[in-house]
A and B are shown apart, each in its own frame.
Chain A
């Protein structure tokens, strides 16, 4: 289903802990993205990467970190510095400029 996989689907974290969300794609896409979705807020860009070993901050990068060591993988770490981490996180990938972005099924993170 889809070619882009996020894991886990649900994640619970204690306050003060870092947590890493996985995103893997087998679509041979160069570009990968992380979005955060909150009710009524649409999709907000956290980080994106257009090639391996390079990534850029999006609109709400504070408290998050990423890496792009492989073309297929773009993990997102939610650090303890993120003040309100409870949200639905979506990873996406696209092949070229001006083409469709494919989304993973999302990870719902809850801080307890």
Chain B
């Protein structure tokens, strides 16, 4: 089945800086890669996703890039704000059609 590795496990940035979280996947047949944000004590919520037929997708301050050859994808957050502080999970759609999640990145944005 699919294996998703996520780095770093924690990331601290100053407000206004950019943040980058990287994930690698093992199953070359995976074709859907969502990113979820989980605030403390709350449910994960989708913030952006990308399918294997595109290399990049943007939504205001967040963007995701996908390199199918290298089997990795990354989340980019620009002009970070304190409310961006949360745990971020990447995921890949595995061969039996269930999402496999990375272990998460705790992002802390300091004012």
Contact = CB atoms under 8 A, between A and B. Distances in A.
A43 B97 contact: no
Interface string A98-111: 10110111100000
Given A42-B89, A43-B89, A103 B101 contact: no
Contacts of A48: 98
Nearest to B103: A42
Q: For chain B, which range describes its interface: under 10, 10 to 19, 20 to 34, or 35 or more residues?
A: 20 to 34
Nearest to B90: A42
A61 to B, nearest CB: 12
Interface residues of A, number: 24
A104 B32 CA distance: 21
B101 A43 contact: yes
B44 A2 contact: no
B93 interface: yes
Given A40-B104, A59-B1, 17 more contacts: A35-B101, A40-B9, A42-B6, A42-B89, A42-B101, A42-B104, A44-B101, A45-B98, A45-B99, A45-B100, A50-B97, A58-B98, A90-B44, A98-B93, A100-B46, A101-B46, A101-B99
A104 B102 CA distance: 19
Contact of A105 (B32, B43, B89, B101): B43
B27 interface: no
Nearest to B96: A56
B31 interface: yes
A39 to B, nearest CB: 9
B49 interface: yes
A39 B51 CA distance: 29
B31 A42 contact: no
A20 B9 CA distance: 32
A84 interface: no
B49 A105 contact: no
B9 to A, nearest CB: 7
A43 B38 CA distance: 11
B78 interface: no
Nearest to A99: B32
